[in-house]
Protein backbone atom coordinates (compact mmCIF):
# COMPACT_ATOMS: atom_id res chain seq x y z
CA UNK A 1 0.00 0.00 0.00
CA UNK A 2 3.01 2.30 0.21
CA UNK A 3 3.26 2.98 -3.52
CA UNK A 4 -0.37 4.15 -4.00
CA UNK A 5 -0.04 6.37 -0.95
CA UNK A 6 3.13 7.95 -2.30
CA UNK A 7 1.53 8.59 -5.68
CA UNK A 8 -1.56 10.04 -3.99
CA UNK A 9 0.46 12.50 -1.94
CA UNK A 10 2.61 13.63 -4.86
CA UNK A 11 -0.37 14.10 -7.18
CA UNK A 12 -2.27 15.99 -4.49
CA UNK A 13 0.72 18.25 -3.90
CA UNK A 14 0.94 19.03 -7.61
CA UNK A 15 -2.78 19.82 -7.64
CA UNK A 16 -2.36 22.19 -4.71
CA UNK A 17 0.49 24.00 -6.43
CA UNK A 18 -1.68 24.74 -9.48
CA UNK A 19 -3.55 27.66 -7.84
CA UNK A 20 -0.21 29.23 -6.95
CA UNK A 21 0.86 28.91 -10.58
CA UNK A 22 -2.37 30.56 -11.68
CA UNK A 23 -1.80 33.40 -9.24
CA UNK A 24 1.45 34.31 -10.98
CA UNK A 25 -0.24 34.78 -14.35
CA UNK A 26 -0.14 38.46 -15.30
CA UNK A 27 -2.73 39.98 -17.66
CA UNK A 28 -1.01 41.41 -20.73
CA UNK A 29 -2.04 44.37 -22.82
CA UNK A 30 -2.34 42.46 -26.06
CA UNK A 31 -2.83 38.92 -27.33
CA UNK A 32 -1.00 37.48 -30.29
CA UNK A 33 -2.81 35.16 -32.67
CA UNK A 34 -1.73 33.59 -35.92
CA UNK A 35 -4.05 34.45 -38.80
CA UNK A 36 -5.23 31.80 -41.23
CA UNK A 37 -4.06 33.70 -44.32
CA UNK A 38 -0.63 34.76 -43.15
CA UNK A 39 2.18 33.51 -40.97
CA UNK A 40 2.58 36.93 -39.41
CA UNK A 41 1.34 37.65 -35.93
CA UNK A 42 -1.62 39.92 -35.38
CA UNK A 43 -2.07 41.97 -32.22
CA UNK A 44 -5.50 41.78 -30.65
CA UNK A 45 -6.44 44.22 -27.88
CA UNK A 46 -7.66 42.79 -24.62
CA UNK A 47 -11.30 43.69 -23.83
CA UNK A 48 -11.88 45.94 -20.81
CA UNK A 49 -12.88 42.99 -18.65
CA UNK A 50 -11.72 39.39 -18.54
CA UNK A 51 -12.13 36.28 -16.44
CA UNK A 52 -9.20 34.95 -14.48
CA UNK A 53 -9.11 31.32 -13.39
CA UNK A 54 -7.88 30.84 -9.84
CA UNK A 55 -7.65 27.37 -8.30
CA UNK A 56 -10.55 24.99 -8.73
CA UNK A 57 -13.17 27.74 -8.96
CA UNK A 58 -13.64 30.49 -11.51
CA UNK A 59 -13.55 33.93 -9.95
CA UNK A 60 -14.94 36.66 -12.17
CA UNK A 61 -12.76 39.75 -12.10
CA UNK A 62 -12.70 43.00 -13.97
CA UNK A 63 -9.51 44.65 -15.15
CA UNK A 64 -9.76 48.38 -14.62
CA UNK A 65 -7.15 50.97 -15.44
CA UNK A 66 -6.80 53.41 -12.59
CA UNK A 67 -6.42 57.07 -13.39
CA UNK A 68 -5.48 57.86 -9.81
CA UNK A 69 -2.33 59.90 -9.85
CA UNK A 70 -1.15 60.75 -6.36
CA UNK A 71 2.12 62.00 -5.06
CA UNK A 72 3.67 58.63 -5.76
CA UNK A 73 2.46 58.25 -9.37
CA UNK A 74 0.04 56.18 -11.38
CA UNK A 75 -1.03 52.64 -10.57
CA UNK A 76 -3.40 50.05 -11.99
CA UNK A 77 -4.96 47.03 -10.36
CA UNK A 78 -7.33 44.13 -10.80
CA UNK A 79 -10.42 44.52 -8.64
CA UNK A 80 -12.64 41.52 -7.85
CA UNK A 81 -16.36 41.67 -8.47
CA UNK A 82 -17.03 40.18 -5.05
CA UNK A 83 -15.04 39.56 -1.88
CA UNK A 84 -14.12 35.83 -1.67
CA UNK A 85 -15.93 33.98 1.10
CA UNK A 86 -13.92 32.51 3.96
CA UNK A 87 -14.23 28.94 2.68
CA UNK A 88 -13.17 30.01 -0.83
CA UNK A 89 -9.79 31.27 0.28
CA UNK A 90 -6.80 29.34 -1.03
CA UNK A 91 -5.40 28.59 2.43
CA UNK A 92 -8.68 27.01 3.56
CA UNK A 93 -8.80 24.83 0.44
CA UNK A 94 -5.21 23.71 0.97
CA UNK A 95 -5.88 22.85 4.61
CA UNK A 96 -9.08 20.97 3.74
CA UNK A 97 -7.41 18.85 1.06
CA UNK A 98 -4.43 18.01 3.25
CA UNK A 99 -6.72 17.17 6.15
CA UNK A 100 -8.65 14.82 3.88
CA UNK A 101 -5.44 13.13 2.73
CA UNK A 102 -4.26 12.75 6.32
CA UNK A 103 -7.56 11.23 7.47
CA UNK A 104 -7.64 8.86 4.50
CA UNK A 105 -4.09 7.69 5.17
CA UNK A 106 -4.79 7.15 8.86
CA UNK A 107 -8.06 5.27 8.39
CA UNK A 108 -6.79 3.09 5.54
CA UNK A 109 -3.55 2.18 7.27
CA UNK A 110 -1.47 3.54 4.39
CA UNK A 111 2.01 4.69 5.30
CA UNK A 112 4.28 6.88 3.22
CA UNK A 113 7.74 5.31 2.77
CA UNK A 114 10.24 7.00 5.04
CA UNK A 115 12.53 7.90 2.15
CA UNK A 116 9.68 9.64 0.31
CA UNK A 117 8.49 11.35 3.49
CA UNK A 118 12.01 12.58 4.20
CA UNK A 119 12.39 13.92 0.67
CA UNK A 120 9.06 15.78 0.78
CA UNK A 121 9.71 17.08 4.29
CA UNK A 122 13.18 18.46 3.55
CA UNK A 123 12.06 19.90 0.22
CA UNK A 124 9.13 21.73 1.81
CA UNK A 125 11.20 22.93 4.76
CA UNK A 126 14.00 24.31 2.58
CA UNK A 127 11.65 25.97 0.09
CA UNK A 128 9.45 27.51 2.77
CA UNK A 129 12.23 28.64 5.10
CA UNK A 130 14.07 30.24 2.20
CA UNK A 131 10.88 31.98 1.10
CA UNK A 132 10.20 33.25 4.62
CA UNK A 133 13.73 34.57 5.12
CA UNK A 134 13.90 36.22 1.70
CA UNK A 135 10.47 37.83 1.93
CA UNK A 136 10.95 39.04 5.51
CA UNK A 137 14.54 40.27 5.44
CA UNK A 138 15.31 41.05 1.78
CA UNK A 139 12.36 41.56 -0.56
CA UNK A 140 10.22 43.77 1.67
CA UNK A 141 13.10 45.97 2.83
CA UNK A 142 14.41 46.54 -0.69
CA UNK A 143 10.98 47.34 -2.13
CA UNK A 144 10.02 49.79 0.61
CA UNK A 145 13.28 51.70 0.07
CA UNK A 146 13.11 51.91 -3.72
CA UNK A 147 9.41 51.96 -4.63
CA UNK A 148 6.81 54.71 -4.15
CA UNK A 149 4.68 53.98 -1.11
CA UNK A 150 1.42 53.27 -2.92
CA UNK A 151 3.18 51.19 -5.57
CA UNK A 152 4.84 49.20 -2.80
CA UNK A 153 1.52 48.66 -1.05
CA UNK A 154 -0.27 47.51 -4.20
CA UNK A 155 2.54 45.11 -5.03
CA UNK A 156 2.49 43.68 -1.52
CA UNK A 157 -1.27 43.18 -1.78
CA UNK A 158 -0.57 40.77 -4.67
CA UNK A 159 2.49 39.07 -3.18
CA UNK A 160 1.32 38.42 0.38
CA UNK A 161 -1.69 36.19 -0.42
CA UNK A 162 0.61 33.93 -2.46
CA UNK A 163 3.34 34.04 0.19
CA UNK A 164 1.08 33.09 3.11
CA UNK A 165 -0.78 30.43 1.11
CA UNK A 166 2.50 28.85 0.02
CA UNK A 167 3.78 28.91 3.60
CA UNK A 168 0.61 27.19 4.83
CA UNK A 169 0.93 24.50 2.15
CA UNK A 170 4.59 23.80 2.90
CA UNK A 171 4.07 23.69 6.67
CA UNK A 172 1.04 21.42 6.33
CA UNK A 173 3.09 18.97 4.26
CA UNK A 174 5.84 19.08 6.88
CA UNK A 175 3.29 18.23 9.56
CA UNK A 176 1.88 15.46 7.39
CA UNK A 177 5.31 13.85 6.95
CA UNK A 178 6.80 14.71 10.35
CA UNK A 179 5.44 11.67 12.16
CA UNK A 180 6.91 9.31 9.57
CA UNK A 181 10.31 10.92 10.14
CA UNK A 182 9.98 10.37 13.88
CA UNK A 183 10.12 14.04 14.84
CA UNK A 184 9.75 14.71 18.58
CA UNK A 185 6.53 16.17 19.94
CA UNK A 186 8.12 19.59 20.53
CA UNK A 187 9.13 19.84 16.88
CA UNK A 188 5.62 18.93 15.78
CA UNK A 189 4.15 21.58 18.10
CA UNK A 190 6.41 24.24 16.59
CA UNK A 191 5.32 23.18 13.12
CA UNK A 192 1.69 23.43 14.19
CA UNK A 193 2.30 26.90 15.66
CA UNK A 194 3.98 28.05 12.44
CA UNK A 195 1.11 26.68 10.37
CA UNK A 196 -1.40 28.46 12.61
CA UNK A 197 0.54 31.72 12.18
CA UNK A 198 0.54 31.38 8.39
CA UNK A 199 -3.20 30.68 8.36
CA UNK A 200 -3.97 33.62 10.66
CA UNK A 201 -2.09 35.92 8.32
CA UNK A 202 -3.61 34.40 5.20
CA UNK A 203 -7.22 34.33 6.37
CA UNK A 204 -7.54 37.33 8.67
CA UNK A 205 -4.71 39.82 9.09
CA UNK A 206 -3.55 40.19 5.48
CA UNK A 207 -7.05 40.66 3.97
CA UNK A 208 -8.02 43.11 6.73
CA UNK A 209 -4.86 45.21 6.47
CA UNK A 210 -5.04 45.28 2.66
CA UNK A 211 -8.65 46.47 2.79
CA UNK A 212 -7.76 49.30 5.17
CA UNK A 213 -4.75 50.22 3.05
CA UNK A 214 -6.86 50.73 -0.06
CA UNK A 215 -9.37 52.76 1.95
CA UNK A 216 -6.51 55.05 2.94
CA UNK A 217 -5.40 55.34 -0.68
CA UNK A 218 -8.93 56.38 -1.67
CA UNK A 219 -8.91 59.19 0.90
CA UNK A 220 -5.43 60.27 -0.18
CA UNK A 221 -6.72 60.58 -3.74
CA UNK A 222 -9.37 62.96 -2.41
CA UNK A 223 -6.79 64.98 -0.43
CA UNK A 224 -8.42 64.07 2.88
CA UNK A 225 -5.28 63.25 4.86
CA UNK A 226 -6.13 65.70 7.63
CA UNK A 227 -9.57 64.28 8.35
CA UNK A 228 -10.34 62.15 11.39
CA UNK A 229 -11.42 59.21 9.21
CA UNK A 230 -8.02 59.06 7.53
CA UNK A 231 -6.18 59.24 10.83
CA UNK A 232 -8.32 56.43 12.26
CA UNK A 233 -7.64 54.29 9.19
CA UNK A 234 -3.92 54.99 9.49
CA UNK A 235 -4.00 53.92 13.14
CA UNK A 236 -5.96 50.77 12.34
CA UNK A 237 -3.64 49.88 9.47
CA UNK A 238 -0.63 50.29 11.74
CA UNK A 239 -2.16 47.92 14.29
CA UNK A 240 -3.08 45.29 11.69
CA UNK A 241 0.26 45.51 9.90
CA UNK A 242 2.12 45.29 13.20
CA UNK A 243 0.12 42.23 14.23
CA UNK A 244 0.76 40.60 10.85
CA UNK A 245 4.51 41.21 11.15
CA UNK A 246 4.53 39.82 14.69
CA UNK A 247 2.63 36.69 13.65
CA UNK A 248 4.99 36.25 10.70
CA UNK A 249 7.91 36.24 13.16
CA UNK A 250 6.39 33.11 14.72
CA UNK A 251 6.96 31.39 11.37
CA UNK A 252 10.51 32.76 11.21
CA UNK A 253 11.37 31.52 14.71
CA UNK A 254 9.61 28.23 14.00
CA UNK A 255 11.85 27.72 10.98
CA UNK A 256 15.03 28.12 13.05
CA UNK A 257 13.68 25.79 15.73
CA UNK A 258 12.73 23.17 13.16
CA UNK A 259 16.17 23.37 11.56
CA UNK A 260 17.63 22.61 15.00
CA UNK A 261 15.48 19.50 15.44
CA UNK A 262 16.31 18.31 11.94
CA UNK A 263 20.03 18.72 12.67
CA UNK A 264 19.67 16.40 15.66
CA UNK A 265 18.48 13.66 13.31
CA UNK A 266 21.50 13.81 11.00
Q: Could you tell me if residue 181 is inside a domain?
A: yes
Whether residue 65 lies inside any domain: the answer is yes
Mean local confidence (pLDDT), 226-248: 96
| Number of neighbouring beta carbons within 10 Å of residue 197 | 25
Q: pLDDT at position 96, please?
A: 76
Question: In the structure, what pLDDT confidence band is assigned to residue 152 with cuts at 50, 70 and 90?
Answer: very high
Q: How far is 80 from 83, CA to CA, in rounded Å?
A: 7
With respect to residue 37, please indicate whether it lies within any of the assigned structural domains: no
- Using DSSP's 3-state secondary structure scheme, residue 167 falls into helix
Domain count, the chain: 1
Starting at the earlier edge strand, list the strands of the sheet with 57-64: 50-54, 57-64, 77-80
The share of the chain scoring above pLDDT 90, in percent, equals: 55
pLDDT tens profile 97-128: 777 766 766 665 556 788 889 999 999 999 99
List all residues 6 or more positions away from 161 whose beta carbon is below 8 Å from its beta carbon.
23, 90, 202, 206
* Structural domain range at position 8: 2-22+47-264
- Phi (first) and psi of residue 40, to 5 degrees: -80, 160
pLDDT greater at residue 241 or residue 44? 241
136 located within any domain: yes
- Mean pLDDT, the chain, integer: 76
Residue 29 forms part of a structural domain = no
33, part of any domain: no
pLDDT digits (tens, 9 = 90+) for 59-80: 334 333 433 444 444 334 445 5
| pLDDT band with cut points at 50, 70 and 90 for residue 259 | very high
Q: Quick one: pLDDT band at residue 51, thresholds 50, 70, 90? A: very low
pLDDT given at position 87? 64
Is there a domain that residue 27 lies in? no
- 218: in domain: yes
pLDDT in tens, 160-210: 999 999 999 999 999 999 989 999 999 999 999 999 999 999 999 999 999
Q: pTM of the full predicted structure?
A: 0.66
Name the residue with higher pLDDT: 13 or 189.
189
DSSP for 104-121? HHHHHT----HHHHHHHH
Asked if 55 and 132 touch (Cβ cutoff 8 Å), the reply is: no
Choose among 233, 198, 200, 236: nearest CA to 215.
233
pLDDT of residue 112: 74
Q: Is the separation of the CB atoms in 58 and 31 below 8 Å?
A: no
Amino acid sequence: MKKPCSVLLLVSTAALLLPLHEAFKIPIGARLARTSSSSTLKRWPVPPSSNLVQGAGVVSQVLRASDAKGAEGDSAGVQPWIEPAFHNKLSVRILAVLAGISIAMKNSGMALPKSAATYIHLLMFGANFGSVMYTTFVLGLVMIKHLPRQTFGRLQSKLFPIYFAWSALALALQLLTGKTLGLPAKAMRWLAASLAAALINSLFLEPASTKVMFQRYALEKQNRREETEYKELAKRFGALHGASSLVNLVTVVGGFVHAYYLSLML
